[in-house]
A and B are shown apart, each in its own frame.
Chain A
């Protein structure tokens, strides 16, 4: 393997450079405000899975705190998913009363009615009914007071919204070759989920970066994934603002007794060899035998990982320059037997523990960078996805400043 360059990714993508990365954007309030305006309010953002709103009349409300907004995505009787701001046209109350970051509901009639004064909207956003409508004045037109639309499109069962009034690209063009590369995985067949979230006192990019490399596996995961030697990334590919790679791991240790039994009963762990043909042909094009999973980022804030029998997402929602909502969602095929159910519990808990190890560094990193002691951070070649992330953001911010 001596022929593999230590700087192969920089050689493949020379435009990203090799220098250190400025630290200020991690902790600057001004940078954060511009990032929200230039990146988050113009990009397509993943907010729901189609299975979460599978039936006509089903809806999900997702809070987008960075924009002081909540977005309703709702499936109409025509099967189409549409998105709206959760704001009533009457006096601005929330149409759907939210119970947290994510609120789910279903209306048999496929309508939404505001609890405040009973205004009723269709799943197409049209204002259907206003109690005592005759007491409003001649200037009030029901047809002009539907819910405010949010651009909403679906890719591979992932529902995305874009808060720009007129998005520059549709979702298909926005995802481009990334959508082709990741699109053929059977996400909709693996719907048994385990979901976690927490609020981290760190910038969203610190959380993103901590997950976007495999350099940390042998240190951070020495507890949960011991002797899983990271052999680097494979097939790094950049698709516009998006990015992907294979993560290759050598699993040197025979599984411990309970782990071995779990692996026999179900495919649920990333650190066990997966057999099968679930991964699309676009994945692992080099055919590496130590390939473990594909790690990809749909810009700006969706990390999407796929492996044989398992897929999972991380999302990083900015709440403030030093506050981030992290969500981790882990999906496997629904168990069919009680023993499979048990084995998935084991695999999923080990993954939870690994995520507890991952999230441990993030607040410390933010606090340390905020000290101002370091003006730059340093990245090695296997941290190319992080370099790309910062490059894309800087480009968008720069382009916006011109």
Chain B
């Protein structure tokens, strides 16, 4: 699989394989199986570029991203999944004091996007 991103985001290409995941379920599973250190590294790499990423994806109509930009968009969605764990849960890969995430079914969990 290609790991290309739009050229100005090339520094994020090492993150594509692990984090450019098309579904909420996949991004959630990736977050849960990552270490605190991995989550922190991902967060630190993506957050500074987030405003640029959002400006980039807005050059295209909703849901009509070319492959490179779509991969970039998936990385930003993975950040939405990861950010609370860094910003609020002290790096815990799970939601602290929570119900079993495995048993909590997202109806939209397998939808792409």
CA distance A257 to B81 in the complex (A): 14
- Chain A residues near B57: list those with CB within 8 A: 338-339, 342
Q: A194-B106, A224-B95 are in contact. Are A341 and B87 (CB under 8 A)?
A: no
The answer to whether A223 touches B77 (Cβ under 8 A) is no
Give A residues with C-beta under 8 Å from B.
193-199, 220, 223-224, 226, 256-259, 261-262, 265, 335-342, 345-346, 349-350, 352-353, 355-360, 362
Partner of A265, one of B54, B101, B105: B54
The answer to whether B99 touches A342 (Cβ under 8 A) is no
The answer to whether A258 touches B79 (Cβ under 8 A) is yes
The answer to whether A360 touches B97 (Cβ under 8 A) is yes
CA distance A57 to B89 in the complex (A): 47
Nearest CB in chain A: distance from B19 CB, A: 14
- Chain A residues near B113: list those with CB within 8 A: 341
Q: A197-B107, A353-B95, A356-B101 are in contact. Are A346 and B88 (CB under 8 A)?
A: no
Q: Which 8 A-B pairs have the closest CB atoms?
A: A256-B87, A338-B57, A258-B83, A356-B98, A195-B107, A359-B99, A346-B80, A339-B54
- Chain A residues near B76: list those with CB within 8 A: 342
Nearest CB in chain B: distance from A329 CB, A: 9
The answer to whether B106 touches A196 (Cβ under 8 A) is yes
Nearest CB in chain B: distance from A299 CB, A: 25
CA distance A357 to B76 in the complex (A): 25
Partner of B84, one of A194, A195, A224, A265: A224
CA distance A149 to B21 in the complex (A): 46
Give B residues with C-beta under 8 Å from A.
24, 47, 50-51, 54-55, 57-58, 60, 62-63, 65, 73, 76-77, 79-81, 83-84, 87-89, 95-99, 101, 103-108, 113
CA distance A197 to B99 in the complex (A): 12
The answer to whether B104 touches A349 (Cβ under 8 A) is no
Interface centre among B54, B63, B87, B106 (most CB of A within 10 A): B54
Nearest CB in chain A: distance from B101 CB, A: 6
The answer to whether B99 touches A196 (Cβ under 8 A) is no
The answer to whether B95 touches A357 (Cβ under 8 A) is yes
The answer to whether B107 touches A223 (Cβ under 8 A) is no
Partner of A338, one of B60, B80, B96, B97: B60
- Chain A residues near B104: list those with CB within 8 A: 196, 198, 352, 355-356, 359
The answer to whether A337 touches B58 (Cβ under 8 A) is yes
The answer to whether B98 touches A360 (Cβ under 8 A) is yes
Q: A338-B73, A342-B57, A353-B95 are in contact. Are A194 and B81 (CB under 8 A)?
A: no
CA distance A346 to B47 in the complex (A): 13
Q: A223-B89, A337-B58 are in contact. Are A349 and B84 (CB under 8 A)?
A: yes
- Chain A residues near B89: list those with CB within 8 A: 223
Some 13 contacts from A to B, beta carbons below 8 A apart, are A194-B106, A223-B95, A224-B88, A256-B87, A258-B47, A259-B87, A338-B62, A339-B54, A345-B80, A353-B98, A356-B98, A356-B104, A360-B99
- Chain A residues near B99: list those with CB within 8 A: 198, 356-360, 362
Partner of A258, one of B24, B63, B80, B108: B80
The answer to whether A353 touches B47 (Cβ under 8 A) is no
The answer to whether B73 touches A258 (Cβ under 8 A) is no
- Chain B residues near A362: list those with CB within 8 A: 99
- Chain B residues near A350: list those with CB within 8 A: 84
CA distance A195 to B106 in the complex (A): 6
- Chain A residues near B79: list those with CB within 8 A: 258
CA distance A274 to B106 in the complex (A): 26
- Chain A residues near B108: list those with CB within 8 A: 193-195
